[in-house]
Structure 1
Amino acid sequence: MYEAESGTMSDNTYTGYNFEFSEKSIRLGFIRKVYGILMLQLLATVGIIALFLYVDSVRLYSQQNPWMWYLALVMMMVTLIMLACCPDVRRRFPINFIVLVAFTLCEGFLLGALSSNYNQDAVIIAVGITAVVSAALTLFAFQTKWDFTAWGGMLFVFVIVLFCFGILCAIIQNKYATLAYSALGALLFSAYLVFDTQLMIGGRHKYSLSPEEYIFAALNLYLDIVQLFMFILTMVGSAQND
């Protein structure tokens, strides 16, 4: 991440309109690449969830072999750390795509296993709500004059508060506390989706991602949408159980 700055170029490189046009072209290409990768990740994830929901043999096999869950969880954490903490990995082709594919498949497997514990209608409703909310927040992030990129520290504090509240909810085991936790989590990751979208957009925002970080940008947006889906699924599932 770098702080957006304005400046001039020397006469022997780009000047005025040409430099601005070049910057916009690079940024637009970056955005298209990020959303292309993100769409493939989401399609793969939805496909895996559908297998768990509609193919009984897949669901039963995963339930009878819990080692698959632990393996997927470990691989998901390892690949996530590699992509988030190792710039050389996420910027080097083709290793960056290989690691991202492994992460997406592991995350999709875990989401499929989680979704299989809910009613099919609840999962479909949660997917639909997540899609609508994500699209609306993305449009908002592109159009709003508010700069959310300066809110990173505050959002991180809210994550810590939410984590502590989640531990409390796990201890007291109260339905209304769980609903409140899920609602707060959905709001928080809605804000994170706007934050990460504006980091990708760049331009007039205080902070932005380098165009080289297309894997990191797609990973951030994917994680925001996944977390949003999980919190919405918890709320929908709890409401249907009443």
Structure 2
Amino acid sequence: MTSKTDNPPPYEDALHHPKYGNYPHQPQRGSPHPPPPSYSPSPGMYPGVYPPAGMWAASGFSASGMPTTIPTLSAGVPPSNQGDMDDLLSTQWESTSVRHAFIRKVYLILTAQLAVTFSVVAVFTFVDPVRLFVIKYPGIYWASFVVYFMVYCILVCCKEPRRRFPWNLLLLGIFTLALSYMSGTISSYYETKAVFLAMGITALVCIAVTIFCFQTKVDFTSCGGLLCISSVVLMIIGIVTAVVLSFQYVPWLHMLYAAIGAIVYTLFLVYNTQLLIGNRESAISPEEYIYGALSLYIDIVHIFLFILQVSGAATE
């Protein structure tokens, strides 16, 4: 146990009075060491020495020794100050406005397509010479399927041209005319009352689906696999129906196939509408307005054709 006089002097006294009287002299062994560098305190770093009381506020600390502001790590965390929050809200507002402009563009294109299609259907339905000519020459009816299938394959394979401005509108117009031609030739085989009834029911279904998709919280964009399976089942039922009807006409089987097809394409319309809205698990890019319009257009026209088969069989 050492006495009080053997204790080393305080640092301040040793700094100003290196030869303190009571401090024992340490013998030097070997070569003498160079004197330590002079101490010059720098702001913010005090190794072993605390700053005076007046320097707490200058270095950003309070008198209690705690920092006045605590820095936070922002790795993956949204900003908390008002300026960054305003930037975040403005970014969300811009994305929402872009999505709304995209939806308006898609529905404008869809309206033009449906206007062309139902105008062609009206010509094939109300103009008797055209309707009788199609009925007299069934080759025109089958040629419409060939034209539609060829244009559809070209549209699916030509991914790069359909993204460019002049070509995408050209392909869109050709496809619209092909599907309108096929719908008109099919409508020429049904009565005018059945065509009007199918148009009305299709319009009600489309309005109801659109309102449902904008209001519901149920996400149908995650049901792509289920819709794919339902489309395969619909194709198999169609093949079986075609084979059965070629041997013996069964009215209820034809109506059953048409009703199932209308339900399946209504589900496809719900799926594609929610992809268009964009607040679900999956969404369409705002640049793919041609694809969005075509998907809705194909669904609506197929719903009309399936409902036309049901209403035509009912009126007969």
**Same fold? TM cut 0.5:** yes
Q: For residue 192 of structure 1, what is the aligned residue in structure 2?
A: 268
Matched, 1:232 2:307: yes
Residue-by-residue CA offset, 1:77-110 (whole Å, 9 max, x unaligned): 2332333343312211111111111111111111
- Higher Cα Rg: structure 1 or 2? 2
Report how many aligned residue pairs link the two structures: 232
Cα distance between partner residues in 2 of 1:71 and 1:38: 25
User: Is contact 1:83-1:89 (8 Å) kept?
Assistant: no
Cα distance between partner residues in 2 of 1:72 and 1:172: 24
Q: How far did 1:71 drift?
A: 4.8
Q: For residue 12 of structure 2, what is the aligned residue in structure 1?
A: none
TM-score (norm 1): 0.89
Q: For residue 210 of structure 1, what is the aligned residue in structure 2?
A: 285
Matched, 1:159 2:231: yes
Q: For residue 198 of structure 2, what is the aligned residue in structure 1?
A: 126
Among candidates 19, 25, 34, match of residue 97 of structure 2: 25
Q: For residue 114 of structure 1, what is the aligned residue in structure 2?
A: 186
Higher helix share goes to which structure?
1
Q: For residue 87 of structure 1, what is the aligned residue in structure 2?
A: 159
Cα distance between partner residues in 2 of 1:64 and 1:103: 26
Cα distance between partner residues in 1 of 2:95 and 2:312: 46
User: Is contact 1:84-1:216 (8 Å) kept?
Assistant: no
Q: After the TM superposition, which of the residue ranges 57-66 and 142-151 deviates more from structure 2? A: 57-66
CA RMSD of aligned residues (A): 2.2
Residue-by-residue CA offset, 1:144-198 (whole Å, 9 max, x unaligned): 1000000011101011011111111112222111111111111111111000000
Aligned AA (2:265): F
User: Is contact 2:151-2:178 (8 Å) kept?
Assistant: no
Cα distance between partner residues in 2 of 1:83 and 1:26: 26
Distance 1:8 1:202, change over 3 A: farther
Aligned AA (1:51): V
User: Is contact 2:209-2:269 (8 Å) kept?
Assistant: yes
TM-score (norm 2): 0.69
Matched, 1:223 2:295: no
Aligned AA (1:43): A
Distance 1:58 1:199, change over 3 A: same
In structure 1, stretches of 5+ residues that fail to align are 1-6
Q: Which has the higher contact order (CA 8 A, sep 6+)?
A: 1
Among candidates 52, 55, 65, match of residue 124 of structure 2: 52
Cα distance between partner residues in 2 of 1:223 and 1:179: 21
Aligned AA (1:172): V
Residue-by-residue CA offset, 1:108-154 (whole Å, 9 max, x unaligned): 11111100100100000000000011110111011110000000111
Identity of aligned residues (%): 41
Q: For residue 4 of structure 1, what is the aligned residue in structure 2?
A: none
